[in-house]
């Protein structure tokens, strides 16, 4: 540590700690002159020399009595003049302004991202799915995996406040992955008033849910039943052919599709997965 | 992957219009009867589900589209129930797997 402190590396700001005693270079010159070389004296040579020295060391300080002025390190000492320092200050200010502007812009962008993304989804019609246009191509070109039969069983539930009779019209159906299948549910409104219902579904086992693709159904939208009306509700779905290649699904032979109906209140919408 | 949360997806083509006037109910009943006859094997009754879609399109309950887009291929024949001779799905799958291994 001590070895690093080479005297030659003394920082510039150390200058000025040596306080040459008061006043004008003229008075100092009077004292110094006898010791200077002959050619220096005469035409105010010593004075000029000291003045030059003075501009280097005490560049911006007015001469003052040391008792009045507190002892401090002048900042604008050494090879950097006040102009330099001012320029640095100016540059620092502009840099800081830029940095602050960038930070505020980032904050604004994060707030703006939500409606912008929604707009993007609406225009490109992606609707929440990461890959566009894979559904209809896939159905046309799907090859059923004939060797693997899956039993789909159906379940129907109704929330306590909804008085509909809701049930599946077939207990189970056997399909293979890659085959589109149709299934029916039935709902009856036994009351004397029209009732609006909205439904959601889930698939058990839930890892199989990712392969269960519904082409069309009756979920997530309000369905209205008039008094004493009974109506068929179809579900058109398929199991993705990749189901047969997933090692986790090797023991899955039964998938249960379960629908639940709730009463739809005025202006109440179920949070639909993805964007509408 | 978040195992605790079940995956619920929006349907690709939205919601079926409700058949308030029971216009296609007769075809639906034929389909269900066929299913019962063939032990609920879907492939045996695919013709009826095709007819159901045609009925819906005719009665404006469904927008017109090519049946190929719905996964119905041109030359599908009604087959007998695949599952009829097996007591459950598991035994069918094992049999098929063994048959493929022998090939």
pLDDT attached to residue B82? 73
pLDDT attached to residue A210? 85
Residue A147 contacts B, CB cutoff 8 Å: yes
The CA dihedral of A127, A132, A133, A135, to the nearest 10 degrees, is: -70
Angle ∠(A164,A171,A185) on CA atoms, nearest 5: 35
Selecting from B8, B12, B68 the residue whose C-beta is nearest the C-beta of A201 gives B8
Q: What ipTM is given for this predicted complex?
A: 0.85
Contacts of A204 in chain B (CB under 8 A): 6
pLDDT attached to residue A168? 93
Residue A53 contacts B, CB cutoff 8 Å: no
Check CB contact under 8 Å for A216 and B69. Answer: no
Q: Distance between CA A249 and CA A173 in Å, rounded?
A: 19
Residue B91 contacts A, CB cutoff 8 Å: no
Residue B25 contacts A, CB cutoff 8 Å: yes
User: Min CA distance, A89 vs chain B (Å)?
Assistant: 52
Residue A128 contacts B, CB cutoff 8 Å: yes
Check CB contact under 8 Å for A214 and B40. Answer: no
Q: A180: exposed, middle or buried (C-beta count within 10 Å: 0-12, 13-18, 19+)?
A: buried
Check CB contact under 8 Å for A253 and B18. Answer: no
Contacts of A176 in chain B (CB under 8 A): 43
Per-residue pLDDT of chain A (276 residues; tens, 9 = 90+): 444 555 544 444 444 445 545 555 556 556 665 665 555 555 555 555 555 555 555 555 555 565 665 656 555 556 778 888 999 999 999 999 999 999 999 999 999 999 998 888 878 765 555 554 455 667 777 888 888 889 999 999 999 888 889 999 999 999 988 888 999 999 999 999 888 888 989 898 888 888 888 888 888 888 888 899 899 999 999 998 888 888 888 888 899 999 999 988 766 666 666 544
CB pairs under 8 A between A and B: 142
Print the SS3 string covering chain B.
CCCCCCCCCCCCCCECCCCCCCCCHHHHHHHHHHHHHCCCEHHHHHHHHHHHHHHHHHCCCCCCCCHHHHCCCCCCCCCCCCCCCCCCHHHHHHHHHHHHHHC
Domain ranges of chain B: 22-72, 76-103
Q: How far is CA A219 from CA A9, A123, A185, A223, B70, in A?
A: 79, 24, 12, 9, 19
Check CB contact under 8 Å for A215 and B13. Answer: yes
pTM of this structure: 0.62
In angstroms, what is the C-alpha Rg of chain B? Answer: 18
């Amino acid at each position: 540590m001590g070895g690093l402190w080479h005297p030659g590396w003394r920082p510039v700001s150390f200058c000025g700690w040596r306080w040459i005693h008061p006043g004008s270079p003229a008075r100092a010159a009077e004292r110094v002159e006898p010791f200077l070389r002959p050619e220096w004296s005469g035409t105010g040579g010593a004075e000029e020399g000291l003045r030059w020295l003075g501009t280097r060391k005490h560049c911006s300080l007015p001469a003052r009595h040391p008792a009045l002025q507190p002892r401090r390190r002048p900042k604008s000492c050494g090879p950097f003049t006040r102009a330099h320092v001012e320029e640095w200050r100016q540059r620092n200010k502009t840099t800081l302004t830029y940095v602050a502007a960038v930070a505020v812009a980032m904050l604004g962008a994060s707030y703006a991202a939500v409606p912008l993304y929604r707009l993007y989804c609406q225009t490109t019609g992606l609707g929440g799915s990461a890959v566009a246009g894979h559904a209809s191509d896939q159905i046309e070109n799907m090859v059923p995996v004939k060797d693997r039969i899956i039993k789909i069983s159906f379940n129907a539930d109704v929330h306590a406040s909804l008085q509909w009779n809701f049930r599946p019209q077939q207990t189970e159906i056997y399909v293979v992955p890659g085959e589109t299948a149709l299934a029916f549910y039935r709902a009856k409104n036994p009351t004397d008033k029209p009732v609006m219902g909205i439904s959601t579904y889930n698939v058990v086992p839930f890892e199989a849910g990712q392969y269960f693709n519904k082409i069309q159904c009756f979920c997530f939208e309000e369905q209205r039943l008039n008094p004493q009306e009974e109506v068929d509700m179809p579900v058109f779905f398929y199991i993705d052919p990749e189901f047969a290649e997933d090692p986790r699904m090797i023991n899955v032979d039964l998938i249960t599709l379960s629908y639940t109906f709730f009463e739809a209140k005025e202006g109440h919408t179920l949070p639909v997965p993805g964007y509408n | 992957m978040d195992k605790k949360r079940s995956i619920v997806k929006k349907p690709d083509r939205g919601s079926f219009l409700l058949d308030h006037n029971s216009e296609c109910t007769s075809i639906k009943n034929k389909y269900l009867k066929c299913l019962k006859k063939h032990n609920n094997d879907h492939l045996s009754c695919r013709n009826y589900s095709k007819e159901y879609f045609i009925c819906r399109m005719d009665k404006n309950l469904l927008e017109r589209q090519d049946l190929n887009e719905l996964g119905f291929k041109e030359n599908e024949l009604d087959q007998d129930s695949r599952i009829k001779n097996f007591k459950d799905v598991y035994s069918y799958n094992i049999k098929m797997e063994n048959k493929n291994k022998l090939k």
